[in-house]
Amino acid sequence: MRVLVTGSAGFIGTAIGRLLDAAGHEVVRVDVMLPQAHGAREAPAGTHRLDVRDAEAWQHLLRGVDVVCHQAALVGAGITVADLPAYASLNDLGTAALLAAMHHQGVARLVLASSMVVYGEGRYRCDEHGPQRPLPRRIEDLEEGRFDNLCSQCDRALTWSAVEEDAPVDPRSAYAASKVAQEHYVSAWARQAGAAAVALRYHNVYGPGMPRDTPYSGVAAMFRSNLEHGRCPDVFEDGRQMRDFVHVDDVARANLLAIEALADLGSTFETYNVASGRPISIGDVAGLVARGSSSDLRPRVTGKFRVGDVRHIVASADKSARGLGFQAQIDPSEGLPAFATAPLRE
């Protein structure tokens, strides 16, 4: 198949392009080379340096394309409300422009990079009172070191459970809001154009080629950076926050499976979690990265917090196993120590 990849020079886009090449697909690479993600780096050879928001101007690249793999996006939570226009422009307008250009060229298959952040908080339950949707945590509780979400009836700490794709969306940042908007645009396009699309909701992605010390770096890269600079990895809250960390090579495989599955689908829109299926605490993430490094430093639990952070968010990987045949191959217990010395992108 001929596959156009937006954001092809990015951390995940590079891994996807490499896997598509190996699988014998023809790859058309497009990336605007945002300074926030790439600094002053030149576009890799064979990459069309183009802005997805101007897709009408380069839609000739869509001729003969079977599937678009849309990875281009401004990421990170957003620092202030002033960042909202940038997310709306690059992510939302960019997706809408791409979809319009695809329709004009008769391209009716799309894989969208989405994110776990669309869920907001994860799924919780009280052993006595059943499922709960907790309110945002109060700043005064966080300042006192009370980090758990509490049952609305008995005030006991709630336990987490895996979030499935039918959970309500609850975006709590500019980035999360833009990802929800992207999904809605793609869903509407699939219905109106009689097209097929899949949104892959990535959980915490890590691995070789991750950008160093940028907003595009995840917490695992920040722990690694601390160690390399002779600092203990600082773990926020009590370190017991639960997440799912999925290796970039597994994310690339999920995209390949979705691209190939779309060839046999009619008009549809589906969402899938892309996760390792092996939940891990943030404290353990820091410990595994430290174990894989050459440093004697060990993580330090600080009790610090960021307003707006969720307590737990862990994915159910069941639907992606059924619908895509996807199962992560790299366990975080092996991948995170290896990440401590993996090559990063400067």
Nearest to 109 by CA among 326, 255, 7: 255
Other beta carbons within 10 Å of 19: 18
Q: Is the pLDDT of residue 37 over 80?
A: no
Q: Is the pLDDT of residue 17 over 80?
A: yes
Residue-level pLDDT at 44: 86
* 186 Cβ contact list (under 8 Å, min separation 6): 95, 99, 110, 112, 197, 199, 269
CA–CA gap between residue 151 and residue 154 (Å, rounded): 6
User: Using CA of residue 207, residue 31, residue 217, residue 226, what is the dihedral sign?
Assistant: positive
* In the block, residue with structure tokens 């003969």: 64
Three-state DSSP state, 262: helix
pLDDT tens digits along 225-261: 999 999 999 999 999 999 999 999 999 999 999 999 9
Cα separations in angstroms, 318 against 151, 272, 315 = 27, 9, 9
Residue-level pLDDT at 40: 64
* Position 212 confidence tier, pLDDT thresholds 50, 70, 90: confident
Cβ-based burial of 92 (10 A; exposed 0-12, middle 13-18, buried ≥19) = buried
Q: Is the pLDDT of residue 78 over 60?
A: no
Structure-block tokens of residue 10 = 């990015």
* 115 Cβ contact list (under 8 Å, min separation 6): 175, 176, 179, 201, 202
pLDDT tens digits along 251-291: 999 999 999 999 887 789 999 999 999 999 999 999 999 99
Do 211 and 222 meet the contact criterion of CB atoms below 8 Å apart? no
* Position 45 confidence tier, pLDDT thresholds 50, 70, 90: confident
Instruction: Please measure the distance between the N-terminal and C-terminal CA atoms of the chain and give it in whole angstroms.
Output: 32
pTM for the model stands at 0.94
Q: Is the pLDDT of residue 215 over 60?
A: no
Cβ-based burial of 66 (10 A; exposed 0-12, middle 13-18, buried ≥19) = middle
* 54 Cβ contact list (under 8 Å, min separation 6): 97
pLDDT tens digits along 119-169: 998 999 999 999 998 888 999 999 999 999 999 999 999 999 999 999 999
Cα separations in angstroms, 328 against 26, 203, 252 = 25, 12, 10
Q: Is the pLDDT of residue 308 over 80?
A: no
CA–CA gap between residue 315 and residue 243 (Å, rounded): 8
Span 60-86, average pLDDT: 88
123-154: string of b/e by CB count within 10 Å (b at 16+)?
A: bbebeeeeebebeebeeeebeeeebbbbbeee
Q: Is the pLDDT of residue 216 over 60?
A: no
* Position 19 confidence tier, pLDDT thresholds 50, 70, 90: very high
Nearest to 141 by CA among 311, 312, 286, 314: 311
